[in-house]
């Protein structure tokens, strides 16, 4: 896992270097574009930097104060709306990138959790993270954020139930 993380960081630096080179080359060929590119970049940078520390503090607080086995402890037993609701809440806790969630999901399935809950949990984890939503609010506005969130919750629930049905059917056929 550690090695994976190091690779990711290396990739980030390579990406940054690549972008810097492209920007330098383009802006020296087209000096008339310098001003608009630099102002736009700077505006976006200021907007990012004025919320990033807050977002990171929230991630840090949740990482320390929310126990690691919370999800496995509470998720999976409840079916129906309560189960789905818990899955969304647990998934929305700010706890890192999606690949961390796969082992948790696997543990849940082995424990006998409902597939629909696990799917909803994974989807919520990937696209309804609490700090990320604050960034969405900042850049895309309240209307966009609320519309995307509520639609996502609805369709992710439908998807979870559908996948659960399908897997159950397949298992029946094999038996």
Partner 1 sequence: MNVATVIINIFALGCLIFAFIKDRTKAKMALVIALKSFIRVLPTVVAIVIFIGLLLGFVPKSTISNIIGEQAGFKGILVVAVLGAVLHIPSLISFPLASSLLKSGASVTAVAVFITTLTMIGVVTLPLEIRELGKRIAILRNGMSFVIAIVIGLIMGMIL
Given 7, 15, 68, 70, the residue binding partner 1 (CB under 8 A): 15
In the bound complex, what is the minimum distance in angstroms from residue 79's beta carbon to partner 1? Answer: 18
Question: Does 161 engage in binding with partner 1 (CB under 8 A)?
Answer: no
Site for partner 1 in 115-144 (CB under 8 A): 115, 119, 122-123, 126-127, 129, 131-132, 134-140, 142-144
Q: Does 80 bind partner 1 (CB under 8 A)?
A: no
Contact indicator for 44, 86 with CB cutoff of 8 Å: no
Percent of the chain that is helix, strand, coil (3-state, to 5) = 85, 0, 15
Return all residues near 134 (Cβ < 8 A) that are at least 6 apart. 51, 54, 55, 58
Residue 66 tokens read as 């929310």
Is 168 a binder of partner 1 (CB under 8 A)? Answer: no
Using CB under 8 A as the binding rule, the residues of this chain from 25 to 44 that contact partner 1 are: 26, 30, 33, 36-42, 44
């Amino acid at each position: 896992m550690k090695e994976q993380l190091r690779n990711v960081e290396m990739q980030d630096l390579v990406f940054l270097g690549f972008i810097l080179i492209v920007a330098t080359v383009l802006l020296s060929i087209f000096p008339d574009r310098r001003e608009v590119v630099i102002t736009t970049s700077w505006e976006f940078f200021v907007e990012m930097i004025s919320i990033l520390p807050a977002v990171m503090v929230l991630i840090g607080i949740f990482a320390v104060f929310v126990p690691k086995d919370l999800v496995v402890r509470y998720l999976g037993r409840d079916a129906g709306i309560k189960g789905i609701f818990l899955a969304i809440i647990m998934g929305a806790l700010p706890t890192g990138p999606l690949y961390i969630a796969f082992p948790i999901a696997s543990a849940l399935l082995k424990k006998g959790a409902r597939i629909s809950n696990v799917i909803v949990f994974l989807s919520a984890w990937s696209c309804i993270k609490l700090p990320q939503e604050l960034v969405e609010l900042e850049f895309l506005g309240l209307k966009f954020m609320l519309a995307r969130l509520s639609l996502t919750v609805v369709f992710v629930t439908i998807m979870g139930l559908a996948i659960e049905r399908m897997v159950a059917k397949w298992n029946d056929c094999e038996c």
